[in-house]
Amino acid sequence: MIASLLAATLLAAAPTPLTVVKSGNADVQKAANAPGATVESLATVVEKFVDFQELARRALGDKTWDSLTPAQRKEFSDTMTGLLRASYAQKAIGQAQADVKYGKETIKDSEATVDTTLTLKKDQIPVDYRLYKAKSEWRIYDVVTDEVSLVDTYKGQFQKLLSTKGFDGLLSTLKTKRAQLEKENAAQSAKGTGGSAAPAK
């Protein structure tokens, strides 16, 4: 009886997908506007509510993921997590002054979508967050900007590279991109321009 009541209380207190997105965006904007903000400091904040490993797995696809050895999965996840952290945080810095309006929250079983509209200067950009439930907590695994899904974009690129270069070629390409992006971010931080970085293309 006590255990069931405790479980019900914990479930009731669990943040909803909308709450996760709202608090996540608030934390990112606070960190991005802090003096001396860097991509690395932003990445640490973003990683608290965005599941980069889940994003990477879904982008690779179940068929390819299931065919990998545990060592290959770890290497791929680590590489993609580093690449996504740097890329996502770089965009967050560029959008630090944006105004976010929250729309509909849709929940279906263990998946959810939260609709938002980002106003940056005079541009209004629809940004939808896709979440999944990991144990009892909602985590973001995809961001759809102006109807373009981050997972789908990477999935298309991965399929092309897998068909021409195989998994090893894909991994090598991702490592090169990650190293290049991290080098650019380090150079920006060294110049003290982190707060005015442009969004990643």
Query: Residue ranges per domain, the chain?
Result: 13-189
Q: Note whether 143 and 150 are within 8 A (CB).
A: yes
Topology given in CATH for the domain delimited by 13-189: Nuclear Transport Factor 2; Chain: A, (3.10.450)
Confidence band (pLDDT; 50, 70, 90) for 54?
Answer: very high
Query: Would you state the structure tokens that stand for residue 94, as one six-digit string?
Result: 């560029």
> What is the value of pTM for the model shown?
0.81
What pLDDT digit, counting tens, does each position of 55-109 carry?
Answer: 999 999 999 999 999 999 999 999 999 898 888 777 777 676 788 999 999 999 9
- Beta pairing, strands 148-149 & 137-145: antiparallel
Average pLDDT in the chain: 85
Mean pLDDT, range 182-192, rounded to an integer: 74
The letter for the amino acid at 38 is T
What pLDDT digit, counting tens, does each position of 109-159 carry?
Answer: 999 999 999 998 888 999 999 999 988 899 999 999 999 999 999 999 999
Alpha-carbon distance 192 to 38, whole Å? 8
